[in-house]
Amino acid sequence: MFKGLFLFVFLSFLTFRAGDVQAGAPEQRQTLSLLGGVRMGASFQEQSWNYREYAPGFVVGPHLAFHFVHTRHVRLGVDGGYLFFARDIDAGTDMLRMETRYHRFDLNAVATVEFRAFAAGISAGTGIMLFSTDTRYEEEDRVELREHTGVQAGFLGGLSLGAEVGRHWWKLNRSVYLMARSDWLRRGGRDEFTLCFLASIEITSKKKTQK
Amino acid sequence: MTHPSAIRLLIVLLSALLCACDGVGADVEILTYDQATDSYTFQIVTVETLTDIDRLEGRATALIGGTSMRLDYTEGMVKWDRVGRPVSFGAMKSDGVYYPEDFASLAMISTYYNIERAMRFFAILGLPEGDLGRLDTYYLADVVEIYADPFTGQVDEIRGRDNAFYLAVDERTRGFYILPLETIEHLPLAMNIGVIVHEYAHAVFQHLVYDRMADGGAGLNSTAYNYIYSLNEGVADIMAVMHTGDPDFMTHSLDDSWAARDASALILYRPSYDTNAMTYVDLSFDPYEIGAFISAAVYEATRRMDGLSPLEAGIPGETLRTDVAASVLDALRATGGEDLSDFTPALFFDRLISRLDPDRAAHLCSVLRARYAIHYGDLAGCL
């Protein structure tokens, strides 16, 4: 359960060290940036009764990224996000129903490469899944209800591709990024793939300029 | 390697070790039968024989998902479109207890637990664990049956739904098949412990009877084959009733149309049962008539062994039920070792009577005198 969390911490150490090196390099212009926005898309969760079939579901949630290394072509930082989705697949019979709601919190170390308006990134970290299940069983006049919540953490890896459309194309004074992002969550022996579209606004502040 | 790097690597390795330490067995909350209230309730149970909880594999069975197959009765063949793969159990763990994350996971862990209980039950009766070999469970299998109408010859296909069965055409197909739900509105069959013990009893019957025949029973005349088929169903019902203490275990899952299988019902053996066994062949024969009679007779005899009168409601005690079930298993073992070319249910009853102590045998004979009158004279042990 803790593997993903430790991996996130480990990768964060590495990126912080990389940030230190970048900050000390000559001819290096560096800024801090904060991106916030929303993402929505589809999640494909491995079916428990057949682990090569995936159940699709709509997901939506906010995300926030902090880039503490921001050079002309490279960004390094951390990214956090939340996704919600509910699942009601093969949920039982009339007398036995089960519904599950998922709240996913992502913590990633991210590295992004930019060329002109285009950006491509990779991320790795941990996904923390909060479950909430409601089960109802009715037999004759008796009804049994069960509600459970639980937490499970797993490894999270992702790829993203997109463009800065605000400043480059629309001449805004704020950067607006549109990205497509796919990620893979491995938890409890099960896989889950998510394909999202992100719309983010970036706030940038100059941190350091060396000549 | 510097110290900080070594420490980070150590942290990653330790975290990997933490992830890999799931042991054998697990406590799980499932919906399971409570005999005291004759109902299913949520209980935390210990599943003891699991070796891989993520894939629901263990000594009792291994669950397989995504199976697709065709049972072609016209050609006597099994065609696999897709064998399937291990399932992926989803659960959250809290205070050492696993809580299924979705309905399929709840159903699958219930299936595993019920099969484990069936295996343990038969071990108590005298069938060592492992004697049946590996038995996979195909969960939500897509099974299409192709058959020819016995009267018109027209070939038809039926996609199996709302059923659970044991199949053993060959070593590869041997296992339990849980079919998708379509019309069942009550407790799914896989969660019904009575249904699973019933199916497990078929695997035991296969081991003790069919597998000991020269050609698996294929060379038998159709009448003997039909009687043995009926005994198979009857013994499976007996074992389910004796294990659960619920003579109408089907009622939690199926509607009243299955009331004919209620072991507490008064079922008399009718001459038409013999006529049907002698007339019909293969799939056109209904084995449940004689099967329900056998299980109802043994259940009523067990009630009387426990001092309950025919008109008195009540369920025989667990120890007695287990004793009688052990005698049934022993009788089955004896029956399977004999020449069954002229088999009738009377042969099985005789073997059972000889394995009960005289007082208990007298109760069974008393029931059979009333319910099996047309063949009572064939029961050497009662005369």
The answer to whether residue B1 scores a pLDDT higher than 60 is no
Question: According to the model, what pLDDT value does residue A49 have?
Answer: 83
The answer to whether residue A187 scores a pLDDT higher than 90 is no
Question: According to the model, what pLDDT value does residue B227 have?
Answer: 97
* A20-41: average pLDDT: 67
Q: Which of A:48-77 have CB within 8 Å of B?
A: 48-53
Question: According to the model, what pLDDT value does residue A87 have?
Answer: 66
Contact A6 B15 (CB under 8 A): yes
Residue type present at position B168: A
pLDDT, tens digit, for every residue of B295-350? 999 999 999 999 999 989 899 999 999 999 999 999 999 999 899 999 999 999 99
% of chain B at pLDDT higher than 70: 93
The answer to whether residue A6 scores a pLDDT higher than 70 is no
Mean pLDDT (chain B) is 90
**Beta partners for A110?**
A77, A123
Q: For residue B112, give the H/E element and its range.
A: helix B103-125
Residue B184 confidence class, pLDDT cut points 50, 70, 90: confident
Mutate to test the interface with A, among B56, B87, B95, B103 (most CBs of A within 10 A): B103
Within 8 A of B88 by CB-CB distance, chain A residues are 46-48, 50-51, 189-190
* B108-133: average pLDDT: 95
Pick the more confident residue, B134 or A39. Answer: A39
Contact B104 A96 (CB under 8 A): no
Question: According to the model, what pLDDT value does residue A168 have?
Answer: 74
Q: Is A191 helix (H, G, I), strand (E, B) or coil?
A: strand
pLDDT, tens digit, for every residue of B5-23? 555 544 444 444 444 443 4
| Residue A196: count of CB within 10 angstroms of its CB | 23
Question: According to the model, what pLDDT value does residue B3 have?
Answer: 52
Within 8 A of A46 by CB-CB distance, chain B residues are 88
Counted residue by residue, chain B has a size of 383
| Residue A20: count of CB within 10 angstroms of its CB | 12
Q: Which of B:36-75 have CB within 8 Å of A?
A: 39-42, 54-55, 65-66
Contact B101 A146 (CB under 8 A): no
| Residue A193: count of CB within 10 angstroms of its CB | 16
How are beta strands A29-47 and A190-209 bridged, if at all? antiparallel
Contact A148 B92 (CB under 8 A): yes
Residue A203 confidence class, pLDDT cut points 50, 70, 90: confident
Q: Map tokens 């990134």 to a residue.
A: A121
Q: Is B2 helix (H, G, I), strand (E, B) or coil?
A: coil
Q: Which of A:141-180 have CB within 8 Å of B?
A: 142, 144, 146, 148-152
pLDDT, tens digit, for every residue of B135-170? 999 999 999 999 888 778 889 999 998 889 999 888
Distance from CA of B100 to the nearest CA of A (A): 9
Within 8 A of B186 by CB-CB distance, chain A residues are 93-96, 139
Is the ipTM higher than 0.90? The answer is no
Contact B94 A142 (CB under 8 A): no
pLDDT, tens digit, for every residue of B20-44? 443 468 999 999 999 888 899 999 9
Q: Which of B11, B92, B191 sits opposite A131 (nearest CB)?
A: B92
